[in-house]
Structure 1
Amino acid sequence: MAQPPGPPQDGPPDHPSPVRPTERPPERPPERPPDRSRWTWPLLGPLVAGLFVAYFLLPARTLGPERPELSWALLILALTAIAALLLKHMRDALFDRPGTVVALMSLMCLSVLVFSSAYFVMSHHPGEFQGLRTRLDALYFTLLTVATVSYGDIQPRGQSARLVILLQILYTLVFLTAAATSLSGKLRRAAASRPPGGGREHKRGPPP
């Protein structure tokens, strides 16, 4: 005879139900730090314009043939300070710190204006330059020297003028060329890090 079923036992079931693993939410990609360099770009135009306005308006009568020691001291001091700042911002450009593009471009313009001011002051020395009379002539001659172009309309005649020209050529080869290389590298990295589409994400609507 079949035995009646006994009372249910309190033991574990023969086939325990599988335990579902805890579902983790998908990990979000790390957020990119905000690009603060775009806030410094509007400063470039007014800053460079201010440098050129100061170049054409600042008086140069305090310098010249009457104060050669002061003229040379100010030239060397200005170029040394600009070189130190260029090295600092070139190092910052390697780490993609914001504001380096504006700083490098402003310092490069400032170095050109410093040499141009030196040529304009030296034009008051008799026998130093032929054909250089105004600040625009000095700026024109400085840019031609940077571009290694000569039209022969302005000629350095004195030893001091030729010394400053040699100094400008060396300064351009060492500092301005390195600054331009750092600047182009910074701009290439910034362009490569931008997402496609100019950084704008187009949201698609629900399918019809």
Structure 2
Amino acid sequence: MLGIWTAITVTAYFLLPLHSFGPHRPAVSWTVFGAGLAVVAAGLLIQIPYAANHRAGTAPAWILAGLMCFTVLLFASSYYVLAQHQGEFSGLDTRVDALYFTLVTLATIGYGDVSPTGQSARLVTVLQIVYSLVFLTAAATALTRHIQLRLMRRGRRTPRDGAGDG
């Protein structure tokens, strides 16, 4: 399921008409970006407790991973749109460049080959760093806890506890 969701969102990232946003429509661009971040944050805040507590009957791992992927693509889209405005970025020309910059920033590597030079680009970069520290770190921690709990529960099962035993 996660693979399908990832394929759909990555395909959408490369196909969406992002030229509809940008410096010629700043109010719409900032509103859509802010709304996207708010929706993802709400989804993460709803799903994190489910994953951390491993509540039965839920699929928080898939949802959290999908929301984390969507967050990366949302920031990459915003960087690509910002790069269309002269003076906002150095070294960012394509959607691949934007995705690359997003992941390098997320991983705190910072090679320096792509850099935000304008105030809007720097603002979004700072926002990505803070958003990642708060939301994505919490999501990754909850996801890790969820996986650990599942593995521990599987390790404690005996053949008698498993399904298929009449």
Fold in common (TM above 0.5): yes
Q: Which of 23, 28, 35 matches 1:70?
A: 28
Q: Which residue does the alignment assign to 1:44? A: 2
Cα pair distance change 1:53/1:200, threshold 3 Å = farther
How many residues are matched?
158
In the alignment, structure 1 residue 156 sits paired with structure 2 residue 116: yes
| Divergent runs of 4+, >2 A | 199-202
> Which one of the candidate residues 83, 86, 96 is aligned to 1:123?
83
The alignment-based identity, stated in percent, is 48
Q: How does 1:43-192 map to 2 (within 5 A)?
A: 43-97=1-55, 98-192=58-152
Paired with 1:88 and 1:150, the residues of 2 have a C-alpha distance of: 31
Higher helix share: 2
RMSD: 1.3
Structure 1 residue 164: Cα displacement:
0.4
Q: How many Å separate the matches in 1 of 2:113 and 2:14?
A: 22
CA pair 190-125 structure 1, distance change in 2 beyond 3 A = same
Task: Report the residue type matching 1:121 in the other structure.
Answer: V
Which amino acid is 2:24 matched to?
E
Secondary structure in 2 aligned to 1:133? Answer: coil
| Partner Cα separation in structure 2 for residue 149 and residue 201 of structure 1 | 46
**TM-score, reference length from structure 2:** 0.91
Q: Which consecutive residues of structure 2, in runs of 5 or more, have no partner in the other structure?
A: 161-166
SS at match of 2:113: coil
The one-letter amino acid of 1:157's match is T
